[in-house]
Chains A and B, each alone.
Chain A
């Protein structure tokens, strides 16, 4: 259970190895961009991708739930790859979801891939969620109200870096004075490099990037 505590708008936030966030005050676990059902989404076109991505993503969520025993799990949107992703879930995947639901309440924030609640999935659906000084939503907003801070997903941030000549690329958290962008947790999700202008637009006052290894969350930019 490797984590690193940061602070936004006076709220304590733990960055977890694996790419999730835990809010210790309220015992809330936050994950972003699960893209469940992405592997099977191309089957209609005859593209037969390996189906294990959804299970693999759910396993990650399951492990986080077991480790941190949250009272509430919030998925920050694009939790399901498309409106029919729920229908395509395998029995084992449905079972895993049920087992997660039995351990914690779930709040699904809608995203651009799952703009409407996905049928037959347990849990509450909302467009965004506020508590304390935090605003949780899928797509980062242009301006965060003063005194508040935002947790968002959508961008799948990753960072390319060169440390002492050795180049590597990793998924990362991006933190500014009033917001935190979470990396995507889904197994078939690519990423957008933090050098992309999108990020400089969101973080005009500078940002920090955090990546994780087995026993440490490191700031690398």
Chain B
């Protein structure tokens, strides 16, 4: 390689005892050549420094001495920015570079923001939301005109998400203001390099982007950790609390462990379980997205100072934070995705030339299969995950308003700018115009009362925002992360028990009991936005579910699990209890065979259940659940709901499901699914997010946040009206497109139906089978609303009252 580190960088590297790694020099070369680049390097490979070196070297030359923004660094996590600012300040100080670095996020004070606005730093570390906000100010064009580099960290975690869509649109805006700007994407795990390269490209296409790949790190050291020596595993459940003792032992054997879990609820429960057992008082902390900033900051600081022995964390610690020498990670619960597991394993050991140590702790019997399959896949360096999808319309609608807030714009020019991003490179002009119209006046077929539009056109054809109030109001609502609000749980006397997810609260009925903070509470009712509860007693308390995505298993991993299950000779790696479980299933019912579809029916809790072992992954099973319940509704079976996991789908009805061969016949796919899908709660949830991001529903409303519930109209009501009078409205199209992303295409199910015709193995059982237990305990049940099943239930309740009234 012809490129060398200039002084004083060369000497500084030598002082550290380092030599520049080849990928660091390659990134330097790319910057020298003025091209955008994608760097794929394992954790501990000096990735961040590789991203910043070109900027530091340019700035060292002193041409920005008078000031001006040179580099913007964007990461998915606020905390990552703060972390990077600290680690960069050392080389800057030691080499005496004329470089000023500042962080800008939602937490930045108003005073500091004002100063940053007047006197920009050389390097600004920020998040996609804060960048969008900066772009909405009238001086954006001038502010960003000196920009030379955009660094996007953990690019794989952004590409293909709504935040990523927003960032790519912002990047294109930045290029309009600073045409010489180059972009560097940094990532540790990339399953689809050219798709990600397109993502950092100035044209939206991969050609012209330099892909720099660092050498692989050392093979990690991965083992499965069982709850006890005898190898007993629970039938179901996802919390994995039975492994607490084994985890504690493993923590005691290492310096610093991160215990990754799959949900916030699980994190809370495990944290308590560990402390209950923690006789040695090992310092163990907790880190997840629902904790307040100060508590999280304390844990981060303690990790950095080496005063902690373990941290229980959700995905909030997935990304490349560098808080101390983690030497082991434990994944508790299903790994779900090979790439994510690889990323998490990479958190252990920030040195590239030592193996990362990882333990996989399954929470139930199915998860043992998944852990074993994932372990093998990680060692084979397999990666999974779908390539980034196309950009969504709701984010684009928000971006149109961001653009308009900064000043008037020509739709033609914005369309060209938008098409230069990878997510929107295929966007049609019709869709773009529909989005503009939506932002302008709502874009409704029923043209209502047009005296109050949001944008107006001048004689040149430029679009302007109608007034300052709309701009101020909109700036409070920028961002594409839609949190389910948390509601405070209080006693009648006003004592606060804690917070629960609004969605979970909406499923509670007076008299229900639930667990919160280790207490058993009885739900009394809602008062405004507080949940009223009292200490209670009762069986079957429910455990609060917190929003946040329930990650689905990748199709690749699901396939590995299925193969293991079909091959009893591969069971010898499984603990005895799991082997027994599978054997028990073969005795009580049957084991699913490779070329068959096993369907079990049995009565359970007063309903008629049907479980199909399809092994097509949760997404395909969601679609299948919709199809099955539609056919069951059409044939008068009164379906009440369905639930899917990665391996199977279960439906329940008030009447027996009838002939299984008829149900799974080819006609399952006939007839229109659209109407049924439109009615589903899945679509309603998707629409809610779309409506919020596109600006149809406000999140923040100055001074009136307290009355939010009274002020906003539920997105469900909007959805129903819109569907009735404007079925092709751009936001409904956006909703259906997004839902379709989650649901596997019908082609795959059609293939499956074709394959199983004549090979359906129906087993009618007196009660639930061993293999079906996990799915019945699965969360995320989809209910069938307003169908014959509910009519039946209402009539039944009515008859009970009549009976009670009869003397």
Contact = CB atoms under 8 A, between A and B. Distances in A.
A47 B509 contact: no
Contact of A46 (B444, B470, B783, B791): B470
A62 interface: no
A161 B798 CA distance: 13
Contacts of B798: 216, 218-220
B790 interface: yes
Interface in B448-478: 448-449, 451-452, 454, 466-467, 469-470, 473-474
B507 interface: yes
B791 A216 contact: yes
A61 to B, nearest CB: 16
A182 B724 CA distance: 25
B454 A165 contact: no
Q: Which of A46, A161, A169 has the most CB of B within 10 A?
A: A46
Contacts of A213: 786, 790-791, 794-795
Contacts of B469: 45-46
A98 interface: no
B785 interface: yes
A170 to B, nearest CB: 8
B794 A46 contact: no
B448 A39 contact: yes
Nearest to B725: A52
A82 interface: no
B525 interface: yes
A219 B640 CA distance: 20
Interface in B609-653: 640-641
Nearest to A212: B794
B720 interface: yes
A56 B723 CA distance: 11
A189 to B, nearest CB: 8
A43 B786 CA distance: 32
Nearest to B450: A43
A164 B789 CA distance: 12
Interface string A142-177: 000000000000000000111111111100000000
Nearest to A44: B452
A175 to B, nearest CB: 12
Interface string B358-388: 0000000000000000000000000000000
Given A90-B448, A216-B791, A196 B725 contact: no
B726 interface: yes
Contact of B641 (A163, A164, A166): A166
A110 interface: no
A137 interface: no
Interface in B510-569: 510-512, 524-527
Q: Residue among B448, B526, B696, B796 with the most chain A CB within 10 A?
A: B448
A216 to B, nearest CB: 6
B446 A52 contact: yes
B605 A50 contact: no
Q: Which of A38, A39, A189 has most B Cβ within 10 Å?
A: A39
Interface of A: 38-40, 43-53, 55-56, 88, 90, 160-169, 187-190, 193, 195-197, 208, 211, 213-216, 218-220
Given A162-B512, A168-B793, A197-B527, 9 more contacts: A52-B722, A56-B724, A88-B448, A160-B509, A168-B790, A195-B524, A213-B794, A216-B798, A220-B797
